[in-house]
Structure 1
Amino acid sequence: MSAPTYLDAWLSGPDDTRFYTRTYTPPTPPVAVLVFVHGAAEHCGRYTHTHTSLSAEHGIAVFAYDQRGFGKTALDVQNRTPGAAYGKTSWTNQLEDLDWAVRTAQDAFKGVPIFLMGTSMGGGIVIGYLARRNRPSDAESLISGVIAGSPCIKLTREPPKVVIWLALQLARVHPYMLYPVRNNPEDLSRNKETNAAYAGDSLVRTPGSLRSLGDMITEGGRLLTENYAYWPEDTPVLFLHGTADMVTSPVAAQALYEKMPAKNKNMIKYPDARHELHNEPGGVKEEALKAVVDFINLR
């Protein structure tokens, strides 16, 4: 695979938030631009190999950013916004920030089709961006397709309802109190090397704050029970999920997929694969990458 080639920059977004961003530009005019949203606890740098391949080998530009409340956007003391903190975000912030990212990519790659992709929490966000009553009036026309990798619609191991209720009540008083437990790296993939890198990554912390996690669970459930109906039927969508995912529920993702009114939709399941398809061994990461490229090229 080609060496990583990207431009990193600090850009001002909603609420004057300074976002750490990466732009991967192909050596030839891009066939598309992919706006990418990472998952909880992590940052866009964990996808360098995937984004490099998309750009250098497949002609797809990538615009990625560390979400508000995560990665360098939250933790880089020299460059972050004053007042920024780990986990300090919400579902409303995340949708506003994604809209900003889409329009930033549109300005950078004028006339090039825009696709969205998110993984885990980011998968729920990219679906939620379009599956809502009050989406931006031009959002549907801006987006050529959406890819949801292991989207968080429900957690595989859901906490008891009483625990969720108590956490939501506490979040009203202390919204940005951090969830005290980190993800188990062994749940992420069968790749020991990338799991070890995750465990030692200084930008990886807990999955987020009580508010950000509460929003993730609440809005994921709302996608499944009501907001799916607002999906624009002419916007194609692709779901990718491992059947052995112990973080986000493949059963819930399947249920959402079946409900969505998209005329053009597909769901690909990877037997025995865990949460991070882009790190899974045994040919899974290559198959998942090909599915992304094929989905974009077909459109």
Structure 2
Amino acid sequence: MGEIGEMNEELQSIYLSNMDEAPARRLAREVFKDIQLNIDHCLFKLPADGVKMEEVYEVNSRRLKVFSKSWLPEKSPLKAIVCYCPGYADTCTFYFEGVARKLASSGFGVFAMDYPGFGLSDGLHGYIPSFENLVNDVIEHFSKIKKQLEYHHLPSFLLGESMGGAIALKIHFKQPTAWDGAALIAPLCKFAEDMIPHWLVKQILIGVAKFLPKTKLVPQKEEVKENIYRDMRKRKLAPYNVLFYKDKPRLGTALECLKATQEIEQRLEEVSLPLLIMHGEADIITDPSASKALYQKAKVKDKKLCLYKDAFHTLLEGEPDETIFHVLDDIVSWLDDHSTTKNKV
């Protein structure tokens, strides 16, 4: 995950502590909160003036306490709302803060949540017992926002990163006409070959998952971990993402993600909303060829594929500054275009 040597002992001990349960994660976040926003990363140098932020805990219909956050421009009228689905293992309270500031200062209302089992929301850390339930939790949260009087007349967009891209597509399958477009960053339409264990190992793991779904057992290749951040300086900052799930994937989670991607791969032709698809050409975690397939098969004329030469998996966090700003500008200009003219399929 990077280097923790630069942290003092107190921070190191919190970073290395057991965060299986939400109270421990919430405590860690309180300690790291101000430190995180002051690290030397280009996203945190973006101005936060004129952006109104709010953090909320709400109990959802499955009786889970879910954390969510919003960023709104204080003075300019809203062009649209953007609902963000984070990647696997991640939270909406660290790197996404910088992305959300940029979007809010460009005139967009930004809403995000931590999935149950991740970040500050309830649930066993890193555990997805059911991908369907997870998608329904996200739909429930964003539907409430979209129904609010001040937002329901505005265009609404999904922004999904990695596994959040898979969640955004599943939301679209369940709500085919509810959204005005989706911007997908390195979407998990298919795992790259390096991510999938050998066929025999996979069969054994599937068998064990039925009895021990919470077990942290899924093997990960070293080169996969190395492929998260291309910029070495940013790789050293990774431990400051203290809520990031750092252990081996749990068997049940891996199986649910695999089933979800297999379903998405079969249904690419059903995708019918305006699309912006962004992928690093050197990504060995989510497969860029699956993004190309999504672009080719989606039954919508309004679609755009941006491939970034030599870029790794975390386009908005781990790349050199110029790539990060390039990707951010692509997102903002696409949102601008689609907010002014709600394009028809």
1:143 equivalenced with 2:185 (yes/no): no
Identity of aligned residues (%): 23
**What aligned pairs does 1:64-213 form with structure 2 within 5 A after superposition?**
64-73=112-121, 80=122, 84-89=123-128, 90-108=130-148, 109-131=151-173, 135=174, 139-156=175-192, 157=194, 158-179=196-217, 186-205=226-245, 206=247, 208-213=249-254
Alignment RMSD (CA, Å):
2.0
Match of 1:251, SS state, is: helix
Tell whether the 8 Å contact from 2:191 to 2:261 is kept in structure 1 after alignment. Answer: no
Q: Give the partner amino acid of 1:50.
A: V
Measure, in 1, the Cα distance between the counterparts of 2:255 and 2:218.
Answer: 14
Q: Structure 2 length as normaliser, TM-score? A: 0.76
Measure, in 1, the Cα distance between the counterparts of 2:71 and 2:217.
Answer: 33
- Point out 4+ residue stretches in structure 1 off by more than 3 angstroms: 179-186
Of 31-40 and 103-112, the range deviating more from structure 2: 103-112
Q: Which runs of 5 or more residues in structure 2 are unaligned? A: 1-45, 339-345
1:265 to 275, 297, 303: 303
Partner of 1:291: 330
1:53 to 102, 108, 114: 102
Q: Which runs of 5 or more residues in structure 1 are unaligned? A: 74-79
Offset from partner CA, 1:117-140 (integer Å, 9 cap, x none): 111111111112223xxx2xxx23
Offset from partner CA, 1:191-221 (integer Å, 9 cap, x none): 3343223234321123642222212122212
Offset from partner CA, 1:5-34 (integer Å, 9 cap, x none): 421110222402111111001122211111
Q: Which has the larger radius of gyration?
A: 2
Shift of 1:88: 2.9
Compared CA separation, residues 26 and 222, structure 1 to 2 (3 A): same
Shift of 1:116: 0.4
Match of 2:159, SS state, is: strand
1:215 equivalenced with 2:256 (yes/no): yes
Q: Structure 1 length as normaliser, TM-score? A: 0.86
Compared CA separation, residues 102 and 172, structure 1 to 2 (3 A): same
Tell whether the 8 Å contact from 1:207 to 1:213 is kept in structure 2 after alignment. Answer: no
Q: Give the partner amino acid of 2:326.
A: E
Shift of 1:277: 0.8
Measure, in 1, the Cα distance between the counterparts of 2:264 and 2:91.
Answer: 24
Tell whether the 8 Å contact from 1:242 to 1:273 is kept in structure 2 after alignment. Answer: yes
